[in-house]
Structure 1
Amino acid sequence: MCGIAGFLSTALRGAGADTVITSMLSRIGHRGPDDAGYYLDDGFAMGTVRLAIVDEAGGAQPMSDPSDRYWISFNGEIYNHAELRRELQAAGRRFRSDHSDTEVALQAWIHWGAEGFARFNGAFALAIRDRVTGDVVLARDRYGKRPLFYVDEPGRFLFASEMKAFRGFPGFSFEFDARELASTYAVWTPLPDRTPFKGIQQLPMGSVLTLRGSDRALRAYHTLDFDVPAFDGSEAEAIDFIRETLRDSVELRLRADVEVGVYLSGGLDSSIVTALTTQLSRHPVRTFSVAFENKTFDESESQRLVAERLGTQHSTVTVGSTDITDNFLTGIYHAEVPTFRTSFVPMYLLSKHVRDSGIKTILSGEGSDEAFLGYSLFRETLLRRQWNELSDTERRTKIASLHPELAHFGPEHQEHLVGLYQQYSTEHMPGLFSHEMRFSNGRFAARLLAEKVDPFADLQNLVATTPGYQDRSAIHKAQWLEYNTLLPGFLLSTQGDRTALANSVENRCPFLDPAVVRAAASVNLRYDDGLVEKALLKKAFRDVLPEWTTSRPKQPYRAPGSAAFKDHSPDYLELLLSEAELAKAEVIDVNFARRLTDKVMSTPVENISTREDQTFLYLLTTMALHHQFVRGDEPVTPAPLSLGVRVDYRSHSEDAR
């Protein structure tokens, strides 16, 4: 696991390029404290900060092939690198290292071209330079587990694992894009190729971008497809199939030269990962959890039961409101985008605890709900799609089963809920039927902005122009939207990669193995009516987990929202939310923001709606980012780098240590 950065610049062909690339890398040094290096050649620079997980001794970067024609900076892991290496060696490719997955990634591209990326089972973002043609290739994994941002402007092209690296390039400045902020607020995340800042784009997941002179070629090497043939077998055979596919995925992700731990939330998905890890790991398994002082959010009892049942060495970080407010600004600096929840802060504190415990690599349960239709959103979509075919009694029974953990889904609220679902039983936003109820809160949040635009216009354009999208079923459209928005844009980034790598911890996701995603698609809706949450997955692992884990309804991971700031009002609230500061941000509707803030801070928590809570957090995180990125008040001082590999072809000299 690493961080990468680089540039193409007509103004930096001579002296100073090494200072600039070092400055860029220093701002993402937390992603790779073990080593750092750079490569310079004719107005081009790229570098890596390395967290050594695989081939600790032989994986220094940037790395070249034996001819020194091709160079790579690589962030991530290729879990099936051993199998690919054998295939490439049989095809005549020569390797310098014994088992570096970075070298496998480079050789795969040299041999297969962009098609090689589709063979990778892993989490990665990379840059490759061809010294002969001058071409530069950027690529990102199929599910967006690892980030890659870029700026493409006349005279300069910049890229990096985190946007903060761009501050190290001379003359670069951040500016909010009001249209992209509106979309982010409404959809909960930036769209796959967007960011909230003008001129900064993301490389979409499963894509490769080739730079050849002034030409740009962006294409997908992988597209999401859930319409796979149904599993042709009995339920018992399907259970064995799911169990073995997941076992293989965990076994692959335990490939490392360092000890691998597990995040244990106490829910089904992380418990399954923990159970399989205890069966496969060569180390006694260490598990790590977040507990909350506020028992509304706390799952420590479930975590304890699973850890005891599986015999793990378990430790917990207990988080209170003060912990959230004290670490909020640092957490959002690493997240880099506005967000509607505080849940990234406890995960930031958890990763710090993991690293302090001597662990560099962690497994987690992300991706299970998307693959196995675990979210209530999927069951709600089925219910709303079937609405006119159901009797009133059937409607009420199914509504009651959706959220048994939520008080406002209790019997006394039935009439209101029936009316609500009736209202959303037909499609109002073309292509977005499954998410219309969720998006209603997002439309409210977009009122934060002074410029009033349709916050869903870009998402509707995206689904309208995506080949095959309109032919998908309602459930498969819902899956596509989750895989393209909340999963990569929040769960794998704000709450995943950024919080983990902020403390130099790599997270790996067994449920995001391509084979697991295909297996889930083949059994979903095949062995139950789709309204029983992950029924087959529960049956596959009920013999090894506590009964409570497989029988209880899903408990989403949540953290205190605006209430944390009411309980412990931090000094920075006034700094961020005064009328004078709001006006400086320029994009904010000051009057709306002040009315919202006054209500949230003066009203009992139980009288604050979900949409008001989320919108307050969007406002607070946006203003924090305004200070940190637009104004440049960075809360983290860039760390000095220990440079290992330094290759400078301008002077034809090398220093590789």
Structure 2
Amino acid sequence: MCGIAGFLAPSLDPGAAPGIVTSMLSLIRHRGPDEAGYYLDDGFAMGTVRLAIVDLDTGSQPMSDPTGRHWISFNGELYNHVELREELRALGRPFRTHCDTEVVLQAWLQWGPQCLTRFNGAFAFAIRDADTGGLVLARDRYGKRPLFYAEHDGGLLFASEMKAFRAFPGFRFTLDPRELASVFAVWTPLPDRTPFAGIRQLPMGGVLTVRDGRRTLSTYEELAVDAPPFEGAEEDAAAYVRETLRASVEMRLRSDVEVGVYLSGGLDSSIVTKLATDLSHSEVRTFSVAFENAEFDESESQRVVASHLGTRHSSVTVSAADIAEHFPAAVHHAEVPSFRTAFVPMYLLSRHVRDAGIKTILSGEGADEAFLGYSLFRETMLRAAWHELSAEDRKAGLARLHPELAHFGPAHQKHMAGLFQQFSQERLPGLFSHELRYQNGRFAARLLKDRNVDPFADALDMVRTAPGYAGLSAVQKAQWLEYKTLLAGYLLSTQGERMGLAHGVENRCPFLDPAVVRAAASVNLRFDDGSEEKAILKKAFRGELPASSLARRKQPYRAPGSAVFKDRRPDYLELVLSDAELGKLDWADPVFARKLVAKIMTTPAEEISTKEDQAFVYLLSTALLDQQFVRDTAGPHASPEADLKIRTVVDKRRALPRAVAGGMR
């Protein structure tokens, strides 16, 4: 796991390149605190800050092939590097290290872009051809690792985090109202977007090729949520899923450092923990978040699972004051507006894990998307069948959806039935499954000054043009949207990767192994009628986990919302409390924002609706981004460049004697 950054800048003063790339790396050094290095060529630079996990001694980057022609900066892990290395060796490819980075480079040289479909991993990388001047950027199929790029002054900047662009002369951040409208509406940036004007992210499964001044963006693998139905019996399907997951966890335990597990107490992380304890030769360490507020705390479930599986368990207890204190730093690492505060406890958890000496962690992310765990999927089934159901069946269906939420209880059932009736017909073409959720986003979009922007225009265009999307069932469309938006844009990034790497902790997701995703797609709709969530997963691990874990309904991971800011009144709250500060937000409607803030500040928390709570968190987090990036007046900044542990320096412009693969200390 690492961070990468670089640029193509034909008009740049060559003498400035080393200082600029070093400054870019210093801004993302939290991603790779172990060592750093960079490569320079005519009008080009790229570098890496490294979190050493595989091949600690000889895996320094940037790395070249034996000829010195091709160079790579790699962020992430290639879990099947052992198998690919043997295949490439049989084809005559030479290896000088045991590092997965070298496997990626040699695979690219052997198979070209086709190698990407062979990769099982979480990655983003840049490969430079020193002879042709060509550059390739690529990202993994599920968007586990970030890669951003921006055109600037006739060139191209790229980095694992956008904040690295601050170091490039003349680059300025500007929040884009159209992109903000889309983020507020669908809860995350769309796969190739960011909230900033002129900055894009490489989409999941994307490749950007730059050569002779031309840029070509392509997709090497489209997201597939359908598969031929599993042909065996339910018992066979459960065994198939279990074995596929076991192989996935085994592959993700490959590491030259200790691997821990995030244990939430729910089914998914419990399964990962169970498999890790089966496959590990030493005691497994598990980590979790606990809350002072009992409404959000799941520590008892975590304790039960840890005790049952015999792990060495540790947790960090988070208070509302902790969330308020660390919110600006977490937003700075996330780099996107957020609709909830739940990413802040994950920021604190990763710090706790780092302090415990762990660099690599397994998590259960992706299980709900793959195995239809969210109530959203059952809700979609219910709404799609609404007109064919009797009044009693509708009532029973509503009761099963959200037993943990008061507004789905008996007292509110008439209202909820009316709402489902209202949304039983599609209004936004292709977005049927998410239309109820998106009403909260429509409200948040009113924060923007420009009301002429359709907040759903880009999402509608995305599903309209997506290959094969129109032919999916309603539930499969819901699944596709979850993969493309909330999973990649929030759960894997804001709440996952970005909070982990803020403290140099890499997360690995066994449920997002391509084989596991295919297995889930083949069994889901055959053995899951919506009556029992994740029935196949529960069957696969029955008798191996505590009975309470298997019987427990999914509890969404939640954290306190706007109340933490109202009650604690941190200094930065002035960004939205002060009329003068609101006036500095040229994208915001000050009248609507002022009314929203006033209601949040003067109304009891239990009387604040979900949409109002989300809109307030959006407003505050976006105001912080405006301050930190656009006005650049506050927030955490880079450590001194002298703190970088520069190990590799390669300058092709002068053919320095130390310009050798692997670098020098």
**How would you bin the TM-score normalised by the shorter chain?**
over 0.9
Match in the other structure for 1:169: 168
**Residues 575-617 of structure 1: CA distance to partner in whole angstroms, max 9, x if unpaired?**
4441111111200001110100000011000100000000000
Match in the other structure for 1:16: 16
Once the two structures are overlaid, the 10-residue window that deviates more, 511-520 or 539-548, is 539-548
- How far the C-alpha of 1:532 sits from its partner, in A, is 1.7
CA contact (8 A) 1:576 1:624 kept: no
Match in the other structure for 2:651: 648
Structure 1 position 514 matched with structure 2 position 514: yes
Q: Which whole-Å CA distance do the structure 2 matches of 1:53 and 1:178 have between them?
A: 40
Match in the other structure for 2:62: 62
1:651 partner amino acid: R
2:597 partner amino acid: T
- How far the C-alpha of 1:153 sits from its partner, in A, is 3.4
Q: Which whole-Å CA distance do the structure 1 matches of 2:505 and 2:263 have between them?
A: 15
1:380 partner amino acid: E
What SS does structure 1 have at the residue aligned with 2:385? Answer: helix
Q: Which whole-Å CA distance do the structure 1 matches of 2:433 and 2:531 have between them?
A: 15
Q: Which whole-Å CA distance do the structure 2 matches of 1:525 and 1:531 have between them?
A: 12
Pairs within 5 Å for 1:363-382:
363-382=362-381
**Residues 200-220 of structure 1: CA distance to partner in whole angstroms, max 9, x if unpaired?**
000001011100121111111
Structure 1 position 260 matched with structure 2 position 259: yes
Match in the other structure for 1:293: 292
Pairs within 5 Å for 1:503-582:
503-582=503-582
Match in the other structure for 1:328: 327
Q: Which whole-Å CA distance do the structure 2 matches of 1:138 and 1:375 have between them?
A: 33
Pairs within 5 Å for 1:391-410:
391-410=390-409
What SS does structure 1 have at the residue aligned with 2:581? Answer: helix
Q: Which whole-Å CA distance do the structure 1 matches of 2:203 and 2:356 have between them?
A: 34
- Give the total of aligned pairs: 656
Match in the other structure for 1:466: 466
**Residues 541-575 of structure 1: CA distance to partner in whole angstroms, max 9, x if unpaired?**
12111111111111000000001112211121114
Q: Which whole-Å CA distance do the structure 1 matches of 2:486 and 2:212 have between them?
A: 35
- How far the C-alpha of 1:13 sits from its partner, in A, is 5.1
1:8 partner amino acid: L
Match in the other structure for 2:416: 417
Once the two structures are overlaid, the 10-residue window that deviates more, 224-233 or 47-56, is 224-233
Match in the other structure for 2:123: 124
Q: Which whole-Å CA distance do the structure 2 matches of 1:68 and 1:10 have between them?
A: 22
CA contact (8 A) 2:528 2:534 kept: no
Q: Which whole-Å CA distance do the structure 1 matches of 2:657 and 2:574 have between them?
A: 52
Match in the other structure for 1:73: 73
CA contact (8 A) 2:6 2:47 kept: yes
Match in the other structure for 1:50: 50
Match in the other structure for 1:587: 587
Q: Which whole-Å CA distance do the structure 2 matches of 1:243 and 1:619 have between them?
A: 43
Structure 1 position 631 matched with structure 2 position 651: no
What SS does structure 1 have at the residue aligned with 2:217? Answer: strand
Pairs within 5 Å for 1:483-502:
483-502=483-502
Pairs within 5 Å for 1:300-449:
300-449=299-448
What SS does structure 2 have at the residue aligned with 1:524? Answer: helix
- How far the C-alpha of 1:654 sits from its partner, in A, is 4.2
What SS does structure 1 have at the residue aligned with 2:354? Answer: helix
Q: Which whole-Å CA distance do the structure 2 matches of 1:577 and 1:371 have between them?
A: 42
Structure 2: which 5+ residue stretches go unaligned? Answer: none
- What is the RMSD of the two structures over their aligned residues, measured on CA atoms? 0.9
Match in the other structure for 1:184: 183
2:74 partner amino acid: F
Relative to 1, partners in 2 of residues 1:13 and 1:68: Cα closer, same or farther, differing over 3 Å? farther
Once the two structures are overlaid, the 10-residue window that deviates more, 544-553 or 360-369, is 544-553
Pairs within 5 Å for 1:161-240:
161-240=160-239
Q: Which whole-Å CA distance do the structure 1 matches of 2:79 and 2:637 have between them?
A: 33
What SS does structure 1 have at the residue aligned with 2:306? Answer: helix
2:171 partner amino acid: F
1:400 partner amino acid: A
Q: Which whole-Å CA distance do the structure 2 matches of 1:9 and 1:610 have between them?
A: 46
Match in the other structure for 1:609: 609
- How far the C-alpha of 1:468 sits from its partner, in A, is 1.4
- How far the C-alpha of 1:154 sits from its partner, in A, is 4.2
Q: Which whole-Å CA distance do the structure 2 matches of 1:245 and 1:591 have between them?
A: 54
Match in the other structure for 1:95: 95
CA contact (8 A) 2:576 2:597 kept: no
1:581 partner amino acid: E
Tell me the TM-score normalised to structure 2 length: 0.98
What SS does structure 2 have at the residue aligned with 1:15? Answer: helix
Q: Which whole-Å CA distance do the structure 1 matches of 2:47 and 2:155 have between them?
A: 16
**Residues 364-423 of structure 1: CA distance to partner in whole angstroms, max 9, x if unpaired?**
000000000000010000111111111111111111001111111111111111111111
Structure 1 position 104 matched with structure 2 position 107: no
What SS does structure 1 have at the residue aligned with 2:416? Answer: helix
1:35 partner amino acid: E
1:485 partner amino acid: T
Structure 1 position 34 matched with structure 2 position 37: no
- How far the C-alpha of 1:152 sits from its partner, in A, is 1.7
Q: Which whole-Å CA distance do the structure 1 matches of 2:31 and 2:552 have between them?
A: 37
Q: Which whole-Å CA distance do the structure 2 matches of 1:459 and 1:407 have between them?
A: 31
CA contact (8 A) 2:126 2:136 kept: yes
CA contact (8 A) 2:575 2:623 kept: no
Q: Which whole-Å CA distance do the structure 2 matches of 1:372 and 1:637 have between them?
A: 40
- How far the C-alpha of 1:11 sits from its partner, in A, is 2.3
CA contact (8 A) 2:575 2:624 kept: no
Q: Which whole-Å CA distance do the structure 1 matches of 2:18 and 2:12 have between them?
A: 10
CA contact (8 A) 2:193 2:199 kept: yes
Match in the other structure for 1:250: 249
- How far the C-alpha of 1:633 sits from its partner, in A, is 2.5
- How far the C-alpha of 1:58 sits from its partner, in A, is 1.0
Q: Which whole-Å CA distance do the structure 1 matches of 2:480 and 2:238 have between them?
A: 25
CA contact (8 A) 1:76 1:125 kept: yes
1:645 partner amino acid: T
Aligned-pair identity (%)? 67
CA contact (8 A) 1:186 1:455 kept: yes
Relative to 1, partners in 2 of residues 1:404 and 1:458: Cα closer, same or farther, differing over 3 Å? same
Q: Which whole-Å CA distance do the structure 1 matches of 2:543 and 2:325 have between them?
A: 42
**Residues 318-362 of structure 1: CA distance to partner in whole angstroms, max 9, x if unpaired?**
011100001011010000000001011000000000000000000
Structure 1: which 5+ residue stretches go unaligned? Answer: none
**Residues 257-304 of structure 1: CA distance to partner in whole angstroms, max 9, x if unpaired?**
000000000001001000100001122100001000111100000000
Match in the other structure for 2:146: 147
Q: Which whole-Å CA distance do the structure 1 matches of 2:613 and 2:490 have between them?
A: 17
1:246 partner amino acid: L
What SS does structure 2 have at the residue aligned with 1:238? Answer: helix
- How far the C-alpha of 1:634 sits from its partner, in A, is 4.5
- How far the C-alpha of 1:528 sits from its partner, in A, is 3.4
CA contact (8 A) 2:575 2:582 kept: no
Q: Which whole-Å CA distance do the structure 1 matches of 2:79 and 2:595 have between them?
A: 51
Q: Which whole-Å CA distance do the structure 1 matches of 2:172 and 2:62 have between them?
A: 27
Match in the other structure for 1:480: 480
Once the two structures are overlaid, the 10-residue window that deviates more, 23-32 or 397-406, is 397-406
Q: Which whole-Å CA distance do the structure 2 matches of 1:379 and 1:18 have between them?
A: 54
**Residues 72-92 of structure 1: CA distance to partner in whole angstroms, max 9, x if unpaired?**
000000000000001111111
1:289 partner amino acid: S
CA contact (8 A) 1:577 1:620 kept: no
